[in-house]
Amino acid sequence: MSKHPNTDLLSLEPEGLVRALESHFRQRDQPVYRIGQVRRWLYEGLSASIDEMTDLPLSERDALKHFFTLTQLEKARVEVSQDGTVKHLWRLSDGEFVESVLIPTKKRLTLCISSQAGCAMGCTFCATGWGGFQRQLTAGEIVSQYAASRRWAEKHLGDTISNIVYMGMGEPLSNRKAVHHSLSILNQGYGVGARRITVSTVGVVPGILELAERPEQFRLALSLHAPISDLRLRLIPLEKRHPLPEVLSALKRFNESGGKRITFEYTMIRGVNDASELIAPLADLALSVGAYVNLIPFNPIPYQNWESSEHHRIKDFAKNLQRRGVPAAIRETRGQDIDAACGQLRAHTLVQLEGSREREH
Ligand code: SAH
Ligand code: SF4
């Protein structure tokens, strides 16, 4: 008879973890403090294996291994950019790959994590989108990117991670159950403040509404890229299903749910979405939901011949938005020499592993 698949301790929300361990240790006549021991190994010790839990008797480690697992991320590659950006390529247990990126700045160490292997959204400017969708990540696979990256950062950079952004591969709000669990685990388990965690979405309305209902003040980034529907449709196929006005009313709900911050991500593509006439509608949208605007130079990708807007044009956009009362900043591109920039994740690996595969659009 085949054994029931073991529960992954790292995929359980902290409350669920305590419940599962309570019942496990009760059945084994073990003291309650065993729960705290395991919890500490996971969330403070950043453990990647039950064998590391050395203050548990060997027999208890064996029993835990019999009923539970811990997500294993195998480090397939680490690349360090000249500017200090660090990209990890992780191999998942079934051979899929995902990436996460550590981005050090003066005051912060931000980790960019993936929520899916690939992405089904097919945005025309994004390398992950061109690679197609492989599968959802489990909550354990999402939070393990944090635990493993933090272990790496503490060892090699002598620093810990201060902020997390769901801006790696995948559309987090298309993997809602695992992403919600991962948010609880990062916040209540590992203790990362909700305001230091940003979920980035291309506009999955039901997901935005669900996030608005959560009591924690997780931040939301909307990948806007165009302030009018016609143009947005050229860049983001989801615009057809969830057009801008619908996204906007979801953002209003999010905004009204109290103390939550919204950012617009606007990737600037030369001759595509950088016309001066777009500044006024962009400003209106931002003001209507109190959003902060991040202007991002487009990172060229292998499948498109688009280029970034020129720097003076991006500066002009930023200045004009500010003049209209919209807080705006230019996000510098990081880690370009190792393809760690937004929209480039996995592109390189796919091209290397499979040859540059043209996708029909
Ligand atoms: N799916 C989510 C999160 C992952 S994408 C989303 O779309 O929001 C993370 C960010 O990278 C998004 O803002 C996305 O629009 C941006 N991005 C994708 N491709 C890019 C490229 N080639 N150049 C610059 N930014 C890009
Ligand atoms: Fe997916 Fe985001 Fe890329 Fe669009 S921009 S294809 S939603 S990862």
User: Does 121 contact ligand 2 (Cβ within 6 A)?
Assistant: yes
How many angstroms does the Cα of residue 21 sit away from the middle of ligand 2? 37
Please report, as a single letter, which amino acid is at residue 290. G
Residue 360 inside a domain? The answer is no
Of 44, 69, 94, the domain-final residue: 69
Of 17, 37, 69, the domain-final residue: 69
Residue 358 inside a domain? The answer is no
CB atoms within 10 A of CB 130: 24
Same domain, 301 and 323: yes
Closest C-alpha residue for ligand 2 atom 4? 123
**Rounded to whole angstroms, how far apart are CA atoms 306 and 109?**
30
Same domain, 238 and 169: yes
How many angstroms does the Cα of residue 148 sit away from the middle of ligand 1? 23
Closest C-alpha residue for ligand 1 atom 9? 167
Three-state DSSP class for residue 23: helix
Same domain, 160 and 191: yes
The atom of ligand 2 lying closest to the CA of 126 is 3
The atom of ligand 2 lying closest to the CA of 130 is 6
User: Does 345 contact ligand 2 (Cβ within 6 A)?
Assistant: no
The sign of the CA dihedral 185, 191, 195, 199 is negative
Same domain, 79 and 225: yes
Q: Pocket residues for ligand 1 (CB within 6 Å)?
A: 125-126, 167, 171, 200-202, 223, 265, 267, 296, 298-299, 301, 342-343
Structural domain that includes position 90: 74-351
Bridge pairing between strands 197-201 and 163-166: parallel
**Rounded to whole angstroms, how far apart are CA atoms 103 and 98?**
17
Number of domains in the chain: 2
Same domain, 166 and 35: no
| Ligand closest to CA 237 | 2
Q: Active-site positions?
A: 99, 342
In this prediction the pTM is 0.94
Same domain, 11 and 79: no
| Ligand closest to CA 173 | 1
Same domain, 23 and 120: no
pLDDT string in tens for the chain (361-residue length): 445 679 999 999 999 999 999 999 999 999 999 999 999 999 999 999 999 999 999 999 999 999 999 998 999 989 998 889 999 999 999 999 999 999 998 899 999 999 999 999 999 999 888 889 999 999 999 999 999 999 999 999 999 999 999 999 999 999 999 999 999 999 999 999 999 999 999 999 999 999 999 999 999 999 999 999 999 999 999 999 999 999 999 999 999 988 788 999 999 999 999 999 999 999 999 999 999 999 999 998 887 899 999 999 999 999 999 999 999 999 887 777 777 766 666 545 544 444 333 333 2
